[in-house]
Amino acid sequence: MASYNTLTDLELIDLLKRDDEPAFTEIYNRYAKGLADFTASKLFNLEDAQDIIHDLFVKLWEDRKQLTITSNLKTYLFTITRYRIIDKIRKNATRQEYSAMLQSLSNAYQSSIEQQIASKELQQTILKSLNQLSPKVKEIYNLSREENLSIPEIAAKLQLSEQTVKNQLSTALAHLRKSLSGISTATLIWWLS
């Protein structure tokens, strides 16, 4: 067989569908650096960029049998990467907002009696919301937020895949966002003051 670096993308995809690891390696060698550079330029965080590209190629290998790329592999990979960047930005924004809200709660607790009451009500809303989660989702959330374990650490500890841990954390955060959505911005600003 000809050297893999002389094969077209469509030939590599065909080989990949037949579990050809060198074809996968060639695809990785062709596109990983460009994808990582593109991702890092959008996220301004090399570690997040590397995570996204790693997850992208893991998913490419896992889904190799079902791939339906009819035109351009490069376009396909960059499109998927773009969507993953958007998801990462959304998750980071939510995490930062949530972290800021929790920090404001601890600061608010030290201020006036009215602010202490409002803070306690918000904390109760958060706890009530967390208690509505399934035990496994709640455990994963607590390991992430209370014990500050990373996704790989949680996955190893609970013997789950990293993707399952990510999905469960997303579920928990979406549930918390929904629970906190009824709180007015004016109330949050008042707590922050």
The verdict on 121 and 49 lying in the same domain is no
Query: 51-87 as b/e, with b when 16 or more CB fall inside 10 Å?
Result: bbbeebbeebeeebeeeeeeeebeebbeeebeebbee
Name the pLDDT band for 191 (thresholds 50, 70, 90).
Answer: very low
- Say what the pLDDT of residue 100 is: 60
129 shares its domain with 186 = yes
Q: pLDDT of 26-68, one tens digit each?
A: 999 999 998 988 888 887 778 888 889 999 999 999 999 988 8
- Give the number of domains in the chain: 2
**Structural domain boundaries enclosing 47:** 7-88
- Domain-located, residue 97: no
Position 58 in a domain: yes
CATH of residue 175's domain is 1.10.10.10
Mean pLDDT of 91-115: 57
Q: State residue 58's pLDDT score.
A: 93
